[in-house]
Structure 1
Amino acid sequence: MQKFLFGLAITALLLGLLWPWIDKIPFGRLPGDIVVERENFRFYLPLTSMLLVSALITLILWLIRR
């Protein structure tokens, strides 16, 4: 458990340090993301983005445990 928390802390630190560059990656609205815009309302469901992030995390965890 300690290794996991340490790895999570290091990952958060690296993401925080690299955020100015990560923020510029055009990863925003992908095809398949649901956007509903009304007069005083905006709903955004990043369905495709969530699936890609989930697949990436699953692949990384699978490689680590192997």
Structure 2
Amino acid sequence: MTELPKMLMGAGALLLLVGFVLQFIGKLPGDILIKKGNTTFYFPIVTSIVISVVLSLIFFIIGKLK
């Protein structure tokens, strides 16, 4: 049970780091942005894929440690 707090702190630090990077990048190349008149459509497909890969790696590592 002593490993759980360490894993949570590591996951939190990783999410904090990803949050800071995304804050300064704003939008990744490959994200869809369509502006027509006063309507804007934004679909962050590449950002979604990156977040999915990072979360999959975190859950894989947590699963291996158990």
- The one of the two structures with greater contact order (alpha-carbon pairs below 8 A, sep at least 6) is 2
Fold agreement, TM-score > 0.5: yes
Percent of aligned pairs sharing the same letter: 31
Question: Which residue identity lines up with residue 32 of structure 2 in the other structure?
Answer: I
- In the TM superposition, what whole-angstrom CA distance separates every residue of 1:5-48 from its partner, at most 9, and x where no partner exists? xx6xxx5xxx7xx6xx8388323211100000011100000000
* Runs of at least 5 residues in structure 1 that lack an aligned partner in the other structure: none
Name the structure with the higher helix share.
Answer: 2
SS at the partner of 1:42?
strand
**Counterpart pick for 2:33 among 32, 35, 40:** 35
Whole-angstrom distance in 1 between the partners of 2:55 and 2:27: 20
Pair 1:58-2:56 in alignment: yes
Aligned to 1:26: 24
TM-score normalised per structure 2 = 0.62
List gaps (5 residues or longer) in structure 2: none
4+ residue stretches of structure 1 with deviation over 6 A?
A: none
